Structure 1
Amino acid sequence: MASEYTTSEYIKHHLTNATMCSTDSGIAFNKACADAGFWAWHVDTLAWSVVLGLLFVISFRAVAKKATTGVPGKFQAFVELVLEFVNDNVTSTYHGRSALIAPLALTIFVWVLLMNLMDLVPVDWLPTIAGLIGQHAFDMDPHDVYMKSVPTTDLNTTFALALGVFVLILYYSVKMKGFGGFTKELTMQPFNHWAFIPVNFILETVTLLARPLSLALRLFGNLYASELIFILIATIGLFQLPLHFAWAVFHILVLPLQAFIFMMLTIVYLSLASEDH
């Protein structure tokens, strides 16, 4: 597929989302959405996120329904290992009491991991399949069909996840401290004097907003850079296999690590929000 484009066109094509938007003339796709503004939907990101989320829910639910107390099967043993791993991290890191934190941590870890693992799928496979479907089923030019299969390379996904965590931070801060206590935390720290209230408020607000921002940008930056390197390797042609294999082996460690970091920072931030000073 790389031979059908110049290198810059090939990279741009693989880094472009399949986009749907609403215009004055109706529903439009891809290039017609260039001037759509805010209300444009990355349908490939949404579709893969939903598919991978359903894969997580259905597979773990199936294991839970068929779990046995005897010798577990391989997949049940794997699920139990993941559950124990997440539970140990929640127990050692979250110092409050909430029935939501462990399921939330499990969901974040497995869902983000599955989205990250899509980065190991060869970069030409899914776009080529999407192009063939568009060409033969919808009479579209394959060059106008886009498919990004790694949701975490889309800043919309990482910011949406981080925004959900941020809402929970605010919720637990108010729930555990009360609105007055949360307000006092924003205005009377680190300098406990009324004269420093404006300075405290600025410092604490920046700290508060930096948490979801760092969550979103860290995950996006690592995965976007990884995907870009895979695409650059694919432009080499016949000599790409050794480099692709080496980079993929390296990412077998990196991809779970990024999911783990996102999960751990979420637990830490919620633990801080739950502390009643």
Structure 2
Amino acid sequence: MSTEAATGGLNEYIAHHLTHNVVTFGTGFHLDTWAVSLALGLLFVLWFGLKARKATAGVPSKGQAFVEIIVEFIDGQVKDTFHGDRRTVTPLALTIFMWIVFMNTMDLIPLDLPGWLVQTTAGHEVAHHTYFRMVPTADLNTTFALSVSVFFILIGHAISAKGGFGFGKELLTAPFHAHGPMAFVLAPVNLFMNIIEWLVKPVSLAMRLFGNMYGGELVFMLIAGLLAGWVTFVPGIIANTAWAIFHILIILLQAFIFMILTVVYIAGARESH
């Protein structure tokens, strides 16, 4: 348990762990979020890339078999949801799922580990003023960056399937299809409703993932802060372990939901109203 939580108060403890390591480039840049996200993305690419290069047609190794199970699972989910050409959709779904799982899993790392490492190497005073949040998906910047990327991918799929003219026409004519003068009257209404429908998708993706991971991170902070000290050391370990076991389900489920909704949205973007 953290000595900081025992001596500095719960509010100070939580405020410290909710503060990002910020570098100022005109606006605040969350260095910790960027660094962890990049490292985990590269780890995913390296892991799956090496397994793909070493893959054999014979009896696979345990590592290759595990990767194949993941790929087949994702491809099966895409196949059940999206009935078009899956050659680009399945890799996208796989990347989204694994990257979010990796980022969500950072919530299982002990909260005070970064501070302890800094304190061990640079001293307590430096550690007290060093901020580092380990969970990129508990940062709204990350979840919105992911969802905005998905948003532009959806537009690309819609234009690819319907053409620029067809996509624009659909924005003005659906969902209230009309002919003659009424088509011009309802065009602004259709456009407004379609804009809302398109914008709701990335916002819902981002807020759902952020809300669940931020809440989970906060529960870990509350447990660590309330049960800090030697007297409550064992109850704190038990409580953290119990929440971590339950949180594993949230980690996987949120990654799956983000991935499957992306595929559903892609399928919808390629269909006509």
Structure 1 residues 179 and 131, CA, compared in 2 at 3 Å: closer, same or farther? farther
Supply the AA of the counterpart residue of 1:268. V
Q: Say if 2:37 is the partner of 1:55.
A: no
Q: Counterpart of 2:134 in 1: which secondary structure?
A: coil
Normalising by structure 1, we get a TM-score of: 0.89
Aligned partner of 2:22 in structure 1 is 19
Supply the AA of the counterpart residue of 1:59. W
Using CA pairs under 8 Å that are at least 6 residues apart, name the structure with larger relative contact order, 1 or 2: 2
Aligned partner of 1:155 in structure 2 is 140
Tell me how far 1:210 sits from its aligned partner: 0.3
- Number of aligned residues: 259
Structure 1 residues 93 and 255, CA, compared in 2 at 3 Å: closer, same or farther? same
Deviations 1:5-53 (A, max 9, x none): 211010000011100014xxxxxxxxxxxxx6xx221111011001111
* In 2, Cα distance between equivalents of 1:91 and 1:183: 28
Supply the AA of the counterpart residue of 1:177. K
Matches within 5 A, 1:127-138: 127-133=115-121, 135=122
Q: Counterpart of 1:141 in 2: which secondary structure?
A: helix
Q: Counterpart of 2:131 in 1: which secondary structure?
A: coil
* In 2, Cα distance between equivalents of 1:130 and 1:63: 34
Q: Is the 8 A contact 1:127 1:148 kept in 2?
A: no
Q: Counterpart of 2:24 in 1: which secondary structure?
A: strand
Q: Is the 8 A contact 1:67 1:76 kept in 2?
A: yes
Q: Of 250, 254, 261, which residue of structure 2 is paired with 1:258?
A: 254
* In 2, Cα distance between equivalents of 1:259 and 1:131: 33
Deviations 1:183-234 (A, max 9, x none): 2221211211212112111111101000000000000000000000000000
Aligned partner of 1:199 in structure 2 is 189
The range that moved more, 119-128 or 100-109, is 119-128
Q: Where does structure 2 lack aligned partners over 5 or more consecutive residues? A: none
Q: Is the 8 A contact 2:115 2:128 kept in 1?
A: no
Deviations 1:160-203 (A, max 9, x none): 00011001111111121112211222121121121211211111
Q: Say if 2:99 is the partner of 1:111.
A: yes
* In 1, Cα distance between equivalents of 2:203 and 2:249: 24
Q: Is the 8 A contact 1:109 1:260 kept in 2?
A: yes
Q: Say if 2:202 is the partner of 1:212.
A: yes
Aligned partner of 1:30 in structure 2 is none
* In 2, Cα distance between equivalents of 1:48 and 1:191: 46
Q: Is the 8 A contact 1:176 1:276 kept in 2?
A: no
Q: Say if 2:148 is the partner of 1:175.
A: no
Tell me how far 1:128 sits from its aligned partner: 2.4
Q: Say if 2:271 is the partner of 1:268.
A: no
Normalising by structure 2, we get a TM-score of: 0.90
Deviations 1:88-130 (A, max 9, x none): 1111111222521111111000000000011111111123224
Q: Is the 8 A contact 1:20 1:40 kept in 2?
A: yes
Tell me how far 1:132 sits from its aligned partner: 4.2
Supply the AA of the counterpart residue of 1:148. R
Q: Is the 8 A contact 1:130 1:146 kept in 2?
A: no
Q: Counterpart of 2:29 in 1: which secondary structure?
A: strand
Q: Is the 8 A contact 2:20 2:131 kept in 1?
A: yes
Q: Is the 8 A contact 1:130 1:147 kept in 2?
A: no
Structure 1 residues 199 and 111, CA, compared in 2 at 3 Å: closer, same or farther? same
* In 1, Cα distance between equivalents of 2:240 and 2:125: 30
* In 2, Cα distance between equivalents of 1:140 and 1:274: 56
Q: Counterpart of 1:21 in 2: which secondary structure?
A: strand
Structure 1 residues 276 and 90, CA, compared in 2 at 3 Å: closer, same or farther? same
The range that moved more, 236-245 or 100-109, is 236-245
Supply the AA of the counterpart residue of 2:114. L
Q: Of 165, 179, 196, which residue of structure 1 is paired with 2:150?
A: 165
Structure 1 vs Structure 2: percent identity of aligned residues? Answer: 46
Q: Counterpart of 2:188 in 1: which secondary structure?
A: helix
Aligned partner of 1:27 in structure 2 is none
* In 2, Cα distance between equivalents of 1:91 and 1:20: 43
Q: Is the 8 A contact 1:131 1:142 kept in 2?
A: yes
